[in-house]
Structure 1
Amino acid sequence: MSVRTQLTTIPLTEDLVRGALELERTEHGLLPHRLPARARAQNTDGPLAMAEVQPSGVRLVLRTRATVVELDTLPTKRVYTGAPPRPDGIYDLLVDGRPAGQAGATGGNTLTIDLATGSSQVRPGPAGTLRFSGLSAASKDVEIWLPHNETTELIALRADAPVEPVPDRGRKVWLHHGSSISHGSDAASPTTTWPALAAALGGVELTNLGFAGSALLDPFTARTLRDTPADRISVKIGINLVNADLMRMRAFTPAVHGFLDTIREGHPTTPLVVVSPILCPIHENTPGPSAPDHSALSVGKLNFRAGGDPAETAAGKLTLSTIRGELARIVEQRAAEDPHLYHLDGRALYGEQDAAELPLPDALHPDAATHRRTGERFAQLAFHPGGPLAVTDA
């Protein structure tokens, strides 16, 4: 007769969670946020509210001799009307920094979104449990990375041995901000988003402020970057401004300056890289807004198209090409007085040859293979000795 291992409930405390800026106590447990309350209070946009509470880069980090670890969570799963079902969120287990398993949580709330009308509806559901067993009884660092694209409330943590926070290992903190591509889009799992991969290869601790659809030069996001501790910073600017058709070039240039000025108020000499957009053929020379392709939705496929007219660039409408040129000019101008400011052309991460080999499946978002390639290239270009975010001497 088998005997079930006796597990002890471990208090979910802030020192066990990394990658979140705040933990909100809810009626169920702890809800990680990637924007602080003050910034959330200034936001009126539903998509950003949904994006910041999806825990991209957020992980439980603990030291233990446990052979079994269980985590109860309450996920919120998204369903898009007319589109194929989305896979459930994946939880990645790392032991001493190496992949050691994956799990999913059953149950949870369901958020149904109609892209045609913009309406949404939430159906409540039960919490689920994920279990990692068969771990070594040796002392080890255990990380459970939460799904990057699925809102996740932490309900309870259990283990068959005591747990303590992992001590500071002296690793540099990399703070990154960007769009859905930085958020993780269609990466295979939370540790294989391109920022997570780049952080692992670069030997840095990631704080990921990539917000799907919401890298829009919001002042409250700039203040969040300003006020968040960091040793290295990068901001990836462009695609969402085209997606949303949010501003013209006249507003874009001073908005970028203001965004960078605010970051520099809190990080005056921290290495800071401004990354322009990766290649996205539908918007290279055609302005936004981006829109779902309803003909594709009718056959169960999610795809996007460009809704603007290339001729409108003469009136200041933004394209990825014009944004890249202006970002390069702005960084060159500012770098004359800011020697720790750098520019990285996003096409060095994913360019024309990559698009021919690995086209964007929905015309906007990279797939898992492209996330891996992007993460490897960013690590090589930014974190490698001699790179702008290098953590070792050249």
Structure 2
Amino acid sequence: MTDWITTPIDARIVRGALDLERTAHGVLPHRLPAWARKQFPDAYLHMVEAQPSGVRLAFRTRATAVELDVLARKTVYQGAPAQPDGVYELLVDGRPSGRASVSGGTVHTVDMATGATVTRPGPPDTVRFTELSGGMKDVEIWLPQTEITELIALRTDAPAEPAPDRGRRVWLHHGSSISHGSTAGSPTTTWPALAAARGGVELINLGLSGNSLLDPFLARTMRDTPADLISLKIGINLVNADLIRLRGFSPAVHGFLDTLREGHPTTPLLVVSPILCPMHEDTPGPGAFDSDALSAGKLRFRATGDPAERAAGKLTLNVIRDELSRITAQRAADDPHLHYLDGRSLYGEADFRQLPLPDRLHPDAAGHRRIGERFADRAFGAGGPFAVGGA
């Protein structure tokens, strides 16, 4: 019989979360602080910020077996293809050492036609990793990036302590569902997680599906979060939400950057424009589900705007890239730590021909890997804005 040791789950061992909410079961990691969540009580935003992309437990132990009790909340979109269970990934001394999933948990079903939701409560489950080496080691358990996860108990067969601070720089990133990793294969293979591993940095991922919208509460959150490196990936949600016109977009970008600089006046700050997305390159939003594809059991998106509407200030990806390039060049004259990266250098026309977007909007697992590797090369590599010692 195993003699289990229970380690408290608190901020000492949870990384990548900005808030831990005490629940009836344990703790729920959040990627937005409580005050920010109150400012926009939107059900979808609250769902995606609680999906723990980039959140992991990090501890040091000699244990050969680890158990983590969780209560998962899975989201099912009625009419869309079924999604696989979320993946929990184990890293030992930074190396992939195991994967697991849970079948239990609460199921939240969304009717994509009407927006109606039904929630069916379910039981907790346990994630197990066994046959680990017996020596002292750093262990990380990365939580599923698209599955809300309440953490109930962490057990090991030897004492565990918080992982030591290795002096790695902290990279704070904000973006859309692509940064969130909604279509990545696992939590450590979202493009930001892949880039962070190659860059040797600690990731705080504020990629929020459908919610990279220049919200002031997000700018204040980033302003107040300690970080050594900051990046913003701006554009696709503003187009497919059809949220704003060009007249409002440019001041909003300036305001977002002004707020960041209040808390991080000299931190390397990289603005990244959208990757290639052919349906929105020159066609405005809003974006919509492709009903014909849904009726065939496939998930695809389409642009519903008219290219002629650009004359009235509607945004497209090309309009956004041009404006972001202009704004960052203008500001960089007085801010040498501000940089710009065209997202098409991460995923462009040649990549689309080789690795097309399966749903016309999001890259697949191979696309995430390509974007992560290229971002690491351009941002963390020699001469990049995030290179050790600076660009």
Same fold (TM over 0.5): yes
User: Runs in 1 of length 4+ with deviation above 3 angstroms?
Assistant: none
**C-alpha contact 2:10 2:20 (8 A) present in aligned 1:** no
Question: In 1, distance between residues paired with 2:70 and 2:187?
Answer: 16
Shift of 1:12: 1.2
Q: Which shifted more, 252-261 or 78-87?
A: 78-87
**C-alpha contact 1:385 1:392 (8 A) present in aligned 2:** no
- The residue aligned with 1:116 is 113
Q: Name the CA shift for 1:135/1:212 in 2 (closer, same or farther; >3 Å).
A: same
Question: In 2, distance between residues paired with 1:220 and 1:139?
Answer: 41
Q: Does residue 356 of structure 1 match 2:319?
A: no
Shift of 1:96: 0.1
Letter in 2 for 1:348: S
- The residue aligned with 1:174 is 171
**C-alpha contact 1:106 1:127 (8 A) present in aligned 2:** no
Question: In 1, distance between residues paired with 2:115 and 2:322?
Answer: 33
Question: In 1, distance between residues paired with 2:227 and 2:360?
Answer: 33
| Aligned partner (choices 289, 303, 307) of residue 306 of structure 1 | 303
- The residue aligned with 1:26 is 23
Q: Which shifted more, 314-323 or 41-50?
A: 41-50
Q: Does residue 219 of structure 1 match 2:185?
A: no
SS in structure 2 at match of 1:186: coil
Cα displacement string for residues 216-238 of structure 1 (whole angstroms, at most 9, x for unaligned residues): 00000000000000000000000
**C-alpha contact 1:274 1:343 (8 A) present in aligned 2:** yes
Number of equivalent positions:
391
Question: In 2, distance between residues paired with 1:79 and 1:185?
Answer: 13
For 1:275-314, what aligned pairs fall within 5 Å after superposition?
275-314=272-311
Shift of 1:45: 2.3
Question: In 2, distance between residues paired with 1:342 and 1:87?
Answer: 38
CA RMSD of aligned residues (A): 0.9
**C-alpha contact 1:172 1:391 (8 A) present in aligned 2:** no
Question: In 2, distance between residues paired with 1:301 and 1:89?
Answer: 20
Unaligned runs of at least 5 residues, structure 2:
none
**C-alpha contact 2:384 2:390 (8 A) present in aligned 1:** no
Q: Does residue 263 of structure 1 match 2:260?
A: yes
**TM-score normalized by structure 1?**
0.98
Shift of 1:139: 0.2
| Aligned partner (choices 338, 341, 362) of residue 335 of structure 2 | 338
Shift of 1:19: 0.1
Question: In 2, distance between residues paired with 1:347 and 1:191?
Answer: 23
**C-alpha contact 1:186 1:366 (8 A) present in aligned 2:** yes
Q: Does residue 384 of structure 1 match 2:384?
A: no
Shift of 1:118: 1.8
Shift of 1:299: 1.0
SS in structure 2 at match of 1:364: coil
Shift of 1:393: 6.4
Shift of 1:48: 1.1
- The residue aligned with 1:203 is 200
Question: In 1, distance between residues paired with 2:12 and 2:33?
Answer: 17
Shift of 1:108: 0.4
For 1:130-209, what aligned pairs fall within 5 Å after superposition?
130-209=127-206
Shift of 1:243: 1.1
Cα displacement string for residues 276-298 of structure 1 (whole angstroms, at most 9, x for unaligned residues): 00000000000000100111111
Question: In 2, distance between residues paired with 1:81 and 1:391?
Answer: 47
Cα displacement string for residues 52-96 of structure 1 (whole angstroms, at most 9, x for unaligned residues): 000000000000000000001011111111111110000010000
For 1:76-115, what aligned pairs fall within 5 Å after superposition?
76-115=73-112
Question: In 2, distance between residues paired with 1:283 and 1:393?
Answer: 34
Question: In 2, distance between residues paired with 1:359 and 1:248?
Answer: 29
Question: In 2, distance between residues paired with 1:208 and 1:353?
Answer: 28
Letter in 2 for 1:239: I
- The residue aligned with 1:238 is 235
Question: In 2, distance between residues paired with 1:11 and 1:372?
Answer: 34
Question: In 1, distance between residues paired with 2:10 and 2:100?
Answer: 22
**C-alpha contact 1:328 1:343 (8 A) present in aligned 2:** yes
Letter in 2 for 1:55: P
Letter in 2 for 1:192: T
SS in structure 1 at match of 2:20: strand
| Aligned partner (choices 51, 55, 64) of residue 54 of structure 1 | 51
**TM-score normalized by structure 2?**
0.99
Over the matched positions of the two proteins, sequence identity in percent amounts to: 71
Question: In 2, distance between residues paired with 1:14 and 1:381?
Answer: 32
Question: In 2, distance between residues paired with 1:359 and 1:12?
Answer: 41
Shift of 1:392: 4.8
SS in structure 2 at match of 1:377: helix
Letter in 2 for 1:143: E
SS in structure 2 at match of 1:14: coil
SS in structure 1 at match of 2:25: coil
- The residue aligned with 1:318 is 315
Unaligned runs of at least 5 residues, structure 1:
none
SS in structure 1 at match of 2:12: helix
